[in-house]
Amino acid sequence: MSFGSVESLLRAAESVPVWEAVLLDDLSDRGVEREASWEKMAGLWRAMEESVASYDPERRSACGLTGGDGAKVEHAQIGLCGPVLTAVMATALKVGECNACMGRIVAAPTAGASGVLPAVLLPMKEKYNFSDDDMVRALYVSAGFGQVIATRASIAGAEGGCQAEVGSASAMAAAALVALLGGTPEQMAWACATALQNLMGLVCDPVAGLVELPCVKRNVIGAVNALTAAELALAGVGSPIPCDEVIDAMRSVGDVLPASLRETGGGGLAATPTGRRIAEELLGR
């Protein structure tokens, strides 16, 4: 894709909607017809839906650390956060568990952050009765912002920490949600920037090196963060720091994170006594 900055994406959106600017860029980049690009994105949306529809609360990951929590949140209905936010949290857990249990998910932008976008988009589709076409357009928006983040910074926990995975997914979801709710391209950029700011510095410290603890629950935080960033942007709360500069700052933070906090399982929660005990029990190390 040709968008190396959010600024260039917004310039392209002066003549067409953001989603279409991204779609047109995909046609040019991959040399495909419009129908092929659309169907590929629609297929990703269907896969997101299926990752939730096929959720089995009885299923557990191979190591036993993950499974059943999405159903717990869904059924408990504590009431602190209201039905929509509860659905967002439950959906994030379900998709994260699906990934840990070797189910089929959409890496958006990575498998470890795969719960964020569907957790935001699926409950919003139900709440506002959006069409599948609306959701596909939102995915194009998320892809555009995600591509800029990947180009200017990183989407890999091993390179930039969890801010590069869940943080990027949260920013993509925030921009997509603003687009769904009729926000302007500038507001999409605000939402993306705010979501990234909120999770900047988030480390990648998987216990036993597995994408389960704390990864699955961080998908919940990423999804909730996306909602707050989108609502702020839609209310007119901007980002004094331009989105591209926020992305660049995220890159600089990731560059100075020690190796122990970049997916090696050597620091953070992975280095706690319990984290090390779990690793020894599961992996014999």
For 35-92, the three-class secondary structure string (H helix, E strand, C coil) is HHHHHHHHHHHHHHHHHHHCCCCCCCCCCCCCCCHHHHHHHHCCCCCHHHHHHHHHHH
- Going from the C-alpha of 265 to that of each of 204, 212, 255, the distances in angstroms are 8, 12, 17
- Quick check: is 225 in a domain? yes
Length of the chain: 285
Beta bridge mates, 262: 204
* The predicted structure's pLDDT at residue 2: 80
Q: Is the peptide bond before 214 cis (omega within 30 degrees of 0)?
A: yes
The pLDDT of residue 285:
55
Residue bearing tokens 């997101």: 48
Q: What is the CA radius of gyration of the chain?
A: 18
What are residue 262's phi and psi, to 5 degrees? Answer: -130, 65
SS3 at position 262:
strand
Q: How many domains does the chain have?
A: 1
pLDDT of residue 284: 75
Task: Kindly state the tokens that stand for 40.
Answer: 């590929």
Range of the domain at 201: 6-283
Residue 123 lies in a domain: yes
Burial class, 269, CB count within 10 angstroms (exposed 0-12 / middle 13-18 / buried 19+): middle
Report which residue type is found at 79.
Answer: G
| pLDDT, tens digit only, all 285 positions of the chain | 589 999 999 999 999 999 999 999 999 999 999 999 999 999 999 999 999 999 999 999 999 999 999 999 999 989 899 999 999 999 999 999 999 999 999 999 999 999 999 999 999 999 999 999 999 999 999 999 999 999 999 999 999 999 999 999 999 999 999 999 999 999 999 999 999 999 999 999 999 999 999 999 999 999 999 999 999 999 999 999 999 999 999 999 999 999 999 999 999 999 999 999 999 999 875
Alpha-carbon distances, residue 182 vs 18, 126, 238, 262 (angstroms): 11, 17, 16, 37
CA of residue 259 relative to chain centroid, distance: 23
Whole-angstrom CA distances from 165 to 82, 206, 234 are 27, 13, 24
Look at residue 1 and tell me if it is in a domain: no
Instruction: State both tokens at 253.
Output: 């933070």
DSSP 199-226: HTT--B--GGG-S-TTHHHHHHHHHHHH
Cα separation of 73 and 78, whole Å?
A: 8
Rounded to whole angstroms, how far apart are CA atoms 148 and 170?
Answer: 14
- What pLDDT sits at residue 1? 59
**Cut 0.85: pTM above it:** yes
Tell me, what's the pLDDT at 39? 98
DSSP state of 154: -
Q: What angle do CA 23, 177, 255 make, to 5 degrees?
A: 80
Token pair for 244: 């591209």
Question: What pLDDT, on a 0 to 100 scale, did the predictor assign at position 231?
Answer: 98
